[in-house]
Amino acid sequence: MVTVEQQRVPRKRTYLMCAPRHFAVEYAINPWMDVTAPVDPELAVKQWDRLRETLLGLGHEVQLLAPEPGLPDMVYAANGAFTVDGTVYGARFKHHQRTAEAAAHRAFYESQGWRFIAPNETNEGEGDFAYLPEAHGGLILAGYGFRTELPAHAEAQEALGRPVVSLRLVDPRFYHLDVALASIDDANIVYYPGAFSAASQKVLAQLFPDAVLADADDALAFGLNLVSDGANVMLNSEATRLASRLETAGYTPVPVELTELKKGGGSVKCCIAELRH
């Protein structure tokens, strides 16, 4: 039973997505990518469309980034930049296969009149950064260990004027922060402790004593690669236990099937960047 205190209120969001028109698994840059496993391109587009329609149906705005040939991972729009209060901290990808995506994102933001700050350090946008505007006065959580380099955290703090808490990822299956942790409202998170170093687990426990914790099975089903508007939580349909835990905490799980896009090592959140004006 949800108490009055647990009544969750959604906040309208603006999101950026990129259609999987050129999506394929042509190389392997994370443990989930298998070049021998065929992708159904038509189903990938259908599942992506359903995700976009789900966001629109919940009252959110979705802007679109034009997909470019030769960049099969552009569908993972979360990785191209990180926005806070109208400022964009651009991405600089670790792997050469994705390098050109950063320029496509920069062109989008500059065409929209955003204040864009080009990075000198390797970082993969919202793949490794999460913003909680009401946690401790406005806090950025930042992952490192596999893709984003630690110096990018200091660079992001200077660019965005928000304190950045560095969290070390230790399991290659959780190569980005957004497959191990997500904001579920403006002040709280859900995460899988086993993805983080012992010290980072202590930091998270101190900062977020009321966090929802996920188990290994749901984390490995990409359950934490989710998007929440503060009340409705869009998450991978396979993460059933996590959906129950979120429901117990007063959120409304909205299961989404993304079997094809999982083959590239991503799910709901990877496909969605939040535009924070």
Q: What is the predicted pLDDT for the residue at 7?
A: 82
Taking residues 71-84, what's their average pLDDT?
98
Q: What percent of the chain is predicted at pLDDT more than 90?
A: 97
Catalytic residues: 176, 270
The band of 16, judged by pLDDT with boundaries at 50, 70 and 90, is: very high
Query: Please, are residues 179 and 225 in contact by the beta-carbon 8 Å criterion?
Result: yes
CA distance 232 to 250: 10
Q: What is the predicted pLDDT for the residue at 150?
A: 98
The band of 157, judged by pLDDT with boundaries at 50, 70 and 90, is: very high
The band of 29, judged by pLDDT with boundaries at 50, 70 and 90, is: confident
Please provide the average confidence, as pLDDT, over all residues in the chain.
96
Residue 145 confidence (pLDDT) above 80: yes
Q: What percent of the chain is predicted at pLDDT more than 70?
A: 98
How do residues 169-216 score in pLDDT, each as one tens digit? 999 999 999 999 999 999 999 999 999 999 999 999 999 999 999 999
Q: What is the predicted pLDDT for the residue at 2?
A: 47
Query: Please, are residues 213 and 193 in contact by the beta-carbon 8 Å criterion?
Result: yes
Q: What is the predicted pLDDT for the residue at 211?
A: 98
Q: What is the predicted pLDDT for the residue at 256?
A: 97
Tokens of 86: 């109208």
Taking residues 109-115, what's their average pLDDT?
97
Taking residues 91-110, what's their average pLDDT?
98
Residue 1 confidence (pLDDT) above 80: no
The band of 3, judged by pLDDT with boundaries at 50, 70 and 90, is: very low
- Count CB neighbours of 75 within 10 A: 25
Question: Whose CA is closest to 272, among 238, 221, 236?
Answer: 236
For every residue of the chain, which 3-state class applies, written as one string? CCCHHHCCCCCCCEEEECCCCCCCCCCCCCCCCCCCCCCCHHHHHHHHHHHHHHHHHCCCEEEECCCCCCCHHHHCHHHHEEEECCEEEECECCCHHHCCHHHHHHHHHHHCCCEEECCCCCECHHHCEEEECCCCCCEEEEEECCCCCCHHHHHHHHHHCCCEEEEEECCCCCCCHHHCEEECCCCCEEECHHHECHHHHHHHHHHCCCCEECCHHHHHCCCCCCEECCCEEEEECCCHHHHHHHHHCCCEEEEECCHHHHCCCCCCHHHCEECCC
Q: What is the predicted pLDDT for the residue at 6?
A: 65
